[in-house]
Amino acid sequence: IGLRPLRRMGAVADTIAAGDLSRRVEPASPRTEIGRLGLALNAMLSQIEAAFAQRTASEQRLRRFIADASHELRTPLTSIRGYSEMLRRGAA
């Protein structure tokens, strides 16, 4: 009976280690060491999830910026290329 909370916590930790960051440890009494450990683990997981969400959002913003910058560069370069091709044909 005494180790059951630790076994459950270990099972949740295994699931988290396998990639499921949405799992949380069942709340226990915060007056016990196991309860405080569970609360700390859940808080840590929330911070990790938030960091991953921020990273994903940052990557999306970077991709959007690169796509926009690429478009903004391609548009005038296409015109310049067209004009230079016209000049080359006219000069030849």
Maximum pairwise Cα distance, the chain: 92
Determine the length of the chain. Answer: 92
Number of structural domains, the chain? 1
Query: Cβ distance 50 to 57 under 8 Å?
Result: no
Give the CATH number, domain containing residue 36.
1.10.287
What is the pLDDT at residue 91? 64
**Confidence band, pLDDT 50/70/90 cuts, at residue 65:** very high
- The answer to whether residue 3 scores a pLDDT higher than 90 is no
Tell me the residue range of the domain where 26 lies.
4-91
